[in-house]
């Protein structure tokens, strides 16, 4: 039997076909979990595509439009999942934004508000909504997608993004302590250089800043990675599937870098 057979997972921000959220959803489905994908309403077509892909892996899949800045939408999503499946075993908080200028003096209130509202408050609200169900059923696993920027400052990353990811890790560790005795594990995955749309935007900024091509910016970044390359989103999915599985049953409060050996400091 697959390690996550009959488990029910919610993965936020899972619409984009090439994104980390979709890769996580696929890996969980491959391990046998029924998966609920969420994203913004404007990504409805992408979510439908995700459901088709996941259903093709032999599991039950469902899409729910959720803006994580709206607590009511989060609560309605959780209730809908409970009504349909009767339980929630895994929550993966992947929804996030990367906004703002790397120049700290150019950051706006909107940059800060959006970063904190989505990357921290939305994550906290989803945790708050699922924890009572996990308590009632005797346990569960929460996995928060943070960033290597939550472990140390990285060049060309906006301060509002870095601060929000540090906060996400702090939230993870506090929940791990609070709910360990109730068999609710809470861990964080900290991706490094992963080939996504956000990664492309960072490379474009570096290229423009230094007057080089995007390809040269990628080569420069690869040279800073001990393993020598930027990875596909599936590697993050592998880490999440492990943390959600019984193999990680004694792990909580962990911040797991998935970064090819990169290790930034403050």
Query: Known catalytic residues?
Result: 161
Q: How is residue 69 annotated by DSSP?
A: T
Tell me how far apart the terminal alpha carbons of the chain are, to the nearest angstrom. 43
List helix spans (H) across 56-108: 71-85
Cβ proximity of 172 and 120 under 8 Å: no
Helix/strand/coil percent split, the chain, to 5: 50, 15, 35
Structure tokens of 154? 């990285």
Distance CA 249, CA 83 (A): 27
Distance CA 102, CA 106 (A): 8
Q: How is residue 87 annotated by DSSP?
A: -
Burial (0-12, 13-18, 19+ Cβ within 10 Å), 95: buried
Partnered with residue 36 across adjacent β-strands are 10, 62
Residue owning tokens 């945790």:
127
Cβ proximity of 51 and 37 under 8 Å: yes
């Amino acid at each position: 039997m697959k390690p996550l057979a009959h488990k029910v997972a919610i993965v936020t921000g899972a619409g984009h076909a090439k994104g980390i959220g979709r890769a996580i959803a696929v890996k969980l489905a491959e391990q046998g979990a029924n998966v609920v994908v969420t994203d913004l309403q404007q990504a409805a077509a992408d979510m439908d595509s995700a459901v088709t892909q996941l259903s093709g892996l032999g599991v039950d899949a469902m899409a729910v439009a959720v803006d994580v800045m709206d607590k009511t939408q989060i609560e309605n999503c959780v209730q809908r999942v409970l009504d349909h499946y009767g339980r929630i075993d895994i929550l993966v908080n992947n929804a996030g934004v990367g906004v703002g200028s790397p120049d700290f003096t150019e950051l706006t209130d909107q940059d800060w508000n959006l970063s904190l509202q989505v990357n921290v408050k939305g994550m906290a609200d989803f945790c708050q909504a699922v924890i009572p169900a996990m308590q009632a059923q005797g346990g569960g696993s929460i996995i928060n997608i943070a960033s290597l920027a939550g472990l140390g400052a990285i060049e060309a990353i906006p301060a509002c993004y870095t601060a929000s990811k540090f906060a996400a890790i702090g939230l993870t560790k506090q929940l791990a302590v609070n709910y360990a005795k109730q068999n609710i594990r809470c861990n964080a995955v900290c991706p490094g250089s992963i080939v996504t749309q956000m990664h492309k935007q960072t490379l474009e900024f570096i290229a423009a800043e230094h007057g080089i091509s995007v390809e040269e910016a990628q080569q420069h970044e690869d040279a800073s990675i001990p393993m020598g390359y930027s990875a596909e989103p599936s590697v993050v999915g592998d880490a999440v599937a492990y943390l959600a599985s019984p193999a990680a049953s004694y792990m909580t409060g962990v911040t797991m870098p998935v970064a090819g050996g990169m290790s930034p400091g403050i």
